[in-house]
Amino acid sequence: MAHPKRKISKTRRDKRRTHDKLTEKAIATCPTTGEVHQYHRAYVVDGDLYHNGKVAIKNYASVA
């Protein structure tokens, strides 16, 4: 089984991991309904499914 020839320091390890982090999700406010939602995602308001500020499905019922 392969193993490192020399120990990698904590500093070197941590430098490599500086890019491994989560970013916040982009959030938009719909001009039609005023609802806060994720960009490029459909969202439910009062039982109707909206996408791009327009009603996509009336009386939407979630399957899950």
Question: What region does 40 belong to: left with phi over 0, alpha with psi -120 to 50, or beta?
Answer: left
pTM of the predicted structure, to 2 decimals: 0.61
Question: For residue 54, what pLDDT band results from cuts at 50, 70 and 90?
Answer: very high
* Model pLDDT, residue 2: 83
Helix runs in 1-64, H state only: 10-16
Domain ranges of the chain: 26-63
Q: pLDDT tens digits for 12-49?
A: 999 999 998 889 999 999 988 899 999 999 999 999 99
Q: Which residues of 23-44 are buried (b: 16+ CB within 10 A; e: fewer)?
A: eeeeeeebeeeeeebeeeeebe
Q: What is the DSSP letter of 16?
A: H
pLDDT range class, residue 1, cuts 50, 70, 90: confident
Of residues 48 and 63, the one with the higher pLDDT is: 48
